């Protein structure tokens, strides 16, 4: 059950990094929804490693083939299956790793769990490559949401301690589009320069860096979600932690709020144009697990890429003795910037699922 | 489906703060497990507001009655239901709140969702009072886990920016017991003093403070959990966000790792007494969603109590116009210290559920 | 996870036949729904053994106490918990059975599963007594459905081979009410007489009989349910098999259709008052898992009560040798007539859950 | 959520009858399991329409391509995805049907649900063609089960009222293999002749017939399943009703037991070679939802193929007026014999899922 999420809209990801193909199934999409394949391809392009020195040199075309669920460019009620063939496979690079688990990777835990049966070439099913089919799902979800006035966007909030400025109190679809069109997804391009420098510096040191992504959704109705274990936070967090390298999730002020007093953290209410608004949004648009109608705001911590060029100490599993490992091959000195559309994708898919649960428990 | 979690072990919480009773059902407990009611009562006592100036003056005896599932002090395979009668109800205190949603509370979102039908006296089903039945569930889970060598403990990591020292690399059951026995659950009592002072200072200012809880589990087998959406992080986060006031969850180094380089964050492996160990534990005992066998470590951000004595700006829903609200009644100037056993309870219940899924997908 | 069903509306049953109490939790009920407790009590009365010679002499008052979820006679959005205290307990009657599993009962399978830890007095959690809380859930569901024009009714279709006449093509709420008001729930009272005679004859022979229940629901919208594994049939069958003693479920013509030709079984369509209708209803109102708008019709096979007064051969588990058992105590010579409201209850709860999934995957 | 089932082992089917491809995903398979592709192909062959006059003339090669989850002939822990390309498409045959729903088909309910957006060519996602990927899933499950001594087999119990003899009290793997090797899957070849004659007679009359399938599983441990809503019957029935055309499911004596007395239906226990056995198996190997260790026996009612060559009355949806329809194209005069391996497949997949839940709630 590891590779699926959602309740009305079930999203399931399959494939291994160096297998024949990766892909995604979406069961429960509303029927009759147009899917703009060019727009989807642009969205996938934001995740893809390019010719930039900031990313792996691995070439991925990432053009999905739709096997089912789409007829004449529209969803048809049946489960959608999209497949992306793997092409650029250098699995020879991974021979040594079978016996020497990479620090910070799932090699060791996969070995414990599946006793060497797992296909761990390139990270296997744990690979960041699996975020491509996630983006197919989320890209479709984003199109469906946008037609109903719900927009999801994200930017790189921090890399290696260099901070972008945060989203404004009311981010807009236009702002989201503007960031998405940039080669490096930040609000403040100066901060972006400093982040790039930090990435290249780490790369020069055969090292890597992590980052933080801020994601927001606007246009959500108030009243979405349920108290306790089925709230918006619960369901988003459960899924966001499925993105490889994510180690923390917070909503609104999050961990910062833990240092504040209530008088600072509480979002006072006011009436604006006949509608209730919060004067601040430290709650990130969620109170008691339920949307307030203010923008949904969350932040995700992405750890530094575990694959680094430096020699690292590890264990030779076959002999259970200490050993050393130098990872060759092509690796991203940072994955946080490429994870920006992935966080959008997951957020959009979860929100669409929750909206599809219908008029929220009434009929 | 809002008030339940778990897969093999289903935990469901019911009740409203000012209703007849609150309670919990546990379906899927292994049969034949002894439940030490005195130990359970001591565990519940850690959550209960006492006569301390740090907590609400509300008196709760919190003695559960077991209606089913226990026979002769042991689980009998049938669902367990435990009920705690509410006694100390001052629902008159909440009359004004029906029209003026408290900032930072779920009053407004409940009003949107249930159109005034919700019983929101004292927070209703959103109340921190509901954590008492959660502790009944978690306290039983802790006893079952302990018999199998799995121990869960937590301490108050920070309050209002005052930091306790972190758990050591290998926390022990003894350390957990030591912290649990303290009136204020910290490792460093000096830090504890500073935290108490911060709480009392906020109280004096008719304000409140938040905090961070660090929780650890030792004795878990390596190999628990699944990649992507069904990992240990996913399932713990999904449930931890069900604790009222939790706004952030991180595992291991979490958000700090986002500022580090890979060479610092990666936990190198070594062999100790014939077993693989990590030299550090920035991963918090989880790689690829699966336990490594190192201690599981997580941190939870608790926002400052939204109920504060100061006047706050809000909206009169009946007239949709701005208004002011002064909350009377008894309130905690901080809930983070009382949430320590709740985080343990939720963590224990989720881990027991995952362990009950059996030998991890084989048979 | 054994004692719950439903997705938006989660129904969970707890208790053992001879424990302190039995009860039910309902999570996900729409808020603001009035619950007519007198009407509910009448519904529960239909299941209760009376002073009739057709049923067990066990006296059950079956008056639920509502611990949560109801405020001023209406649902309040929080989970509802209702408890029925057990009073008339003769658990001494069950001493011998611990070692000698009763043929046709779950004594043996419970012993295998829980190694003697299960509380099997009176059937424990397997007991027909647990259908009382099911009827609390279903009785509330029926009231909510009725306010929206959906009515669920059932009658005893057959006992020991004696057949009632089937429901007409379009059963009505009035017909359901008429049957429900009868002491013996049949359409044709003559057939009812023959059924009663068969039950009493079996009782006189220290034996028991089984029966078939036909249940129908009218007023359902067309388009409810999903193809393949999430259709109306799938979800109803999954839950109906949870009623003790049910061994078969069929929809529409069911097993009879397997003997027919397509030209007989196919329900041809026609237009009536501007609406599409089927000329017959061999599909039982479901095609491809989805409601057609015709009445939903299903039949449930109830096996003869396994507790009979005759000596039966069994095994002494402690010695693993053949033995004999004579069951004393009070037992129903037939449970099929008492199961009629239980089938209604389960059907209503499942249908309400499906309707609460909202406008069927759109928003 | 319509096209998936299972809990530890999630099986999801995708595709439409006349789309690009159909396929299946299996998430949660144990790793390291060999998959014998030739044996799988033979199993798929049992479902495929051949050149027999008993089946449709549609040619399907049904050779799955495995995109993921298999490495070197073994499962690798990652989700398995298998795809079958559609080739022999005559969607022109279905033009008229868009406006005139076929009696007994899901055309009308799909139209209500998806407003004409559904791809209903050849039944779309409702098509019996989707049972091919189900057989891929079930065929793999059967291989895994067989290695652990659990065997699943089925035969055609009845067609158009012509009855095969039932399975013996203890069916064997050899008997299952023998039936599976026959061109017409019956125990009594004489009965098989009469069934074939009935099918051909219906075909000659431009009509169709239904049938009943008996399925058994041997080698299951006692103690599998849970009481009430999570028993073996609940989970098998929920999934079996997902097979197109299934309208009834019964376990053991099923509906027949409803006509019997308890003294006949109860399976008395005895000791044989130190193990508890039932002298009869009217319970079908299940008591209280839990396996007894006796063979699991179930029967499934398959309605007559709704596509028949005779003119039928229906409605023209575009004008909401009565009309007539004559279905052209190639259709099976009976699908029950082809459904035999499908029932095996579904039964095997559900049982494997339940076995994978591990040591049944203990650890």
Give the pLDDT confidence of C300-339 residue by residue, as tens digits: 999 999 999 999 999 999 999 999 999 987 789 999 999 9
Q: Is C114 on the interface with B (CB under 8 A)?
A: yes
Nearest CA in chain D to B149: D363
Here the tokens at position A162 are: 């260099």
3-state secondary structure (DSSP) of residue B200: helix
Task: Write down the pLDDT at residue B50.
Answer: 62
Q: Are C272 and D90 in contact (CB under 8 A)?
A: no
Spell out which residues of chain C touch residue B71, defining contact as CB-CB under 8 Å. Answer: 16, 19, 119
To which H or E segment does residue D312 belong? strand D312-316
Task: Write down the pLDDT at residue A57.
Answer: 61
Mean predicted lDDT score pLDDT of chain D: 93
Count CB neighbours of B318 within 10 A: 11
Question: D134 to chain A, minimum CA–CA distance in Å?
Answer: 14
Q: Is D8 on the interface with C (CB under 8 A)?
A: no
CA gap D184, D179 in Å, rounded: 8
Query: Are the beta carbons of C67 and B110 separated by less than 8 Å?
Result: no
CA gap D235, C216 in Å, rounded: 23
- The answer, yes or no, to whether residue B363 has pLDDT greater than 60, is no
Q: Percent of chain D having pLDDT more than 70?
A: 94
Query: Are the beta carbons of A235 and B231 separated by less than 8 Å?
Result: no
- The answer, yes or no, to whether residue A110 has pLDDT greater than 80, is yes
**Sign of the CA dihedral C355, C360, C362, D4?**
positive
Task: Write down the pLDDT at residue A1.
Answer: 57
Spell out which residues of chain D touch residue A119, defining contact as CB-CB under 8 Å. Answer: 71, 76-78
Q: Percent of chain A having pLDDT more than 70?
A: 94
Count CB neighbours of A248 within 10 A: 31
Count the helices and strands in chain C (H runs, E runs): 8, 18
Task: Write down the pLDDT at residue D361.
Answer: 46
Q: Is C271 on the interface with D (CB under 8 A)?
A: yes
Question: C72 to chain D, minimum CA–CA distance in Å?
Answer: 32
CA gap D226, D232 in Å, rounded: 7
**Sign of the CA dihedral A352, C28, D232, C153?**
negative
Distances (CA, A) of A19 to A120, D31, D152: 10, 16, 32
B180-220 pLDDT tens trace: 999 999 999 999 999 999 999 999 999 999 999 999 999 99
Low-confidence ranges of chain D (pLDDT < 50): 360-362
Q: Which of B148, B227, B356 sits opposite D361 (nearest CB)?
A: B356
Q: Which of C355, C361, C362 sits opposite A363 (nearest CB)?
A: C355
D202-244 pLDDT tens trace: 999 999 999 999 999 999 999 999 999 999 999 999 999 999 9
Q: Phi then psi for C116, rounded to 5 degrees?
A: 85, 0
Residue partners of D14: CB distance under 8 A and separation at least 6: A25, A27, A67, A68, A69, A78, A79, A80, A81, D3, D22, D23, D24, D25, D133
Give me the residues of A, 70-99, that contact D with CB < 8 A.
71, 74-81, 83
Query: Are the beta carbons of C14 and B3 separated by less than 8 Å?
Result: no
Here the tokens at position B19 are: 């209703």
- The answer, yes or no, to whether residue C91 has pLDDT greater than 60, is no
The ipTM assigned to this model is 0.96
Task: Write down the pLDDT at residue D233.
Answer: 98
CA gap B337, B305 in Å, rounded: 12
Higher pLDDT, A44 or C62: A44
CA gap D190, A262 in Å, rounded: 83
Q: Percent of chain C having pLDDT more than 90?
A: 83
Beta strands in A137-198 (DSSP E): 151-159, 162-163
Q: Is D3 on the interface with A (CB under 8 A)?
A: yes
Q: Percent of chain B having pLDDT more than 90?
A: 83
B33-86 pLDDT tens trace: 999 999 999 999 999 876 577 776 666 678 999 999 999 999 999 999 999 999
Q: What is the mean pLDDT of residues B140-160?
A: 97
CATH 3.60.150.10 for the C4-356 domain, yes or no: yes
Residue to substitute from D31, D67, D114, D122, interface A, most A β-carbons within 10 A: D67
- The alpha helices in D65-159, defined as continuous H runs, are 107-114, 131-147
- The answer, yes or no, to whether residue C361 has pLDDT greater than 50, is no
Query: Are the beta carbons of A68 and D22 separated by less than 8 Å?
Result: yes
The residue extents of the domains of chain B are 4-356
D86-118 pLDDT tens trace: 986 655 556 677 799 999 999 999 999 988 888
User: If you ran DSSP here, which 8-state letter would residue B28 be given?
Assistant: S
* Chains touching chain B, criterion 3+ CB pairs below 8 Å: A, C, D
Which residue is it, tokens 């972190």? B166
C37-60 pLDDT tens trace: 999 999 999 998 765 777 766 666
CA gap A306, D316 in Å, rounded: 63
Query: Are the beta carbons of D30 and B357 separated by less than 8 Å?
Result: no
Q: Is A8 on the interface with B (CB under 8 A)?
A: no
Task: Write down the pLDDT at residue B95.
Answer: 65
- The answer, yes or no, to whether residue B2 has pLDDT greater than 50, is yes
Spell out which residues of chain A touch residue B213, defining contact as CB-CB under 8 Å. Answer: none
A277-295 pLDDT tens trace: 999 999 999 999 999 999 9
To which H or E segment does residue D314 belong? strand D312-316
Q: What is the mean pLDDT of residues B215-226?
A: 96
Query: Are the beta carbons of D247 and C251 separated by less than 8 Å?
Result: yes
3-state secondary structure (DSSP) of residue D149: coil
- The answer, yes or no, to whether residue A61 has pLDDT greater than 90, is no
Q: What is the mean pLDDT of residues C223-233?
A: 95
């Amino acid at each position: 059950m590891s590779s699926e999420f959602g309740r009305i809209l079930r999203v399931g990801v399959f494939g291994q990094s160096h297998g024949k193909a990766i892909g995604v199934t979406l069961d429960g999409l509303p029927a009759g929804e147009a899917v703009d394949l060019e727009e989807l391809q642009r969205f996938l392009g934001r995740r893809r490693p390019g010719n930039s020195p900031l990313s792996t040199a691995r070439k991925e075309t990432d053009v999905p083939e739709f096997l089912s669920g789409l007829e004449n460019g529209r969803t048809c009620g049946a489960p959608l299956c999209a497949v992306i063939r793997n092409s650029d496979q250098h699995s020879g690079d991974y021979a040594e790793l079978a016996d020497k688990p990479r620090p910070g990777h799932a090699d060791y835990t996969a070995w414990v769990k599946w006793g060497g049966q797992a296909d761990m070439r390139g990270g296997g099913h744990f690979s960041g490559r699996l975020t491509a089919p996630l983006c197919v799902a989320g890209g479709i979800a984003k199109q469906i949401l946008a037609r109903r006035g719900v927009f999801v966007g994200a930017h790189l909030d921090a890399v290696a301690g260099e901070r972008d400025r945060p989203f404004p109190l009311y981010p807009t679809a236009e702002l989201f589009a503007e960031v998405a069109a940039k080669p490096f997804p930040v609000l403040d391009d100066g901060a972006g320069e400093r982040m790039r420098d930090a990435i290249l510096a780490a790369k020069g040191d055969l090292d890597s860096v992590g980052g933080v992504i801020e994601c927001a959704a606007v246009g959500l109705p108030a009243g979405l979600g349920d108290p306790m274990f089925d709230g918006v936070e619960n369901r988003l967090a459960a899924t966001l932690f499925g993105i490889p390298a994510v180690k923390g999730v917070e909503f609104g002020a999050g961990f910062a709020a833990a240092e504040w007093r209530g008088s600072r953290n509480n979002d006072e209410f006011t009436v604006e144009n006949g509608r209730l608004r919060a004067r601040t949004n430290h709650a990130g648009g969620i109170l008691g697990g339920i949307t307030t109608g203010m923008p949904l705001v969350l932040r995700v911590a992405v750890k530094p890429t575990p694959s680094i060029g430096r020699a690292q100490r590890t264990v030779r599993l076959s002999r259970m003795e200490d050993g050393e490992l130098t990872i060759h091959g092509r690796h991203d000195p940072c994955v946080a910037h490429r994870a920006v559309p992935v966080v959008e994708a997951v957020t959009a898919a979860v929100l669409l699922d929750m909206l599809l649960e219908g008029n929220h428990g009434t009929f």
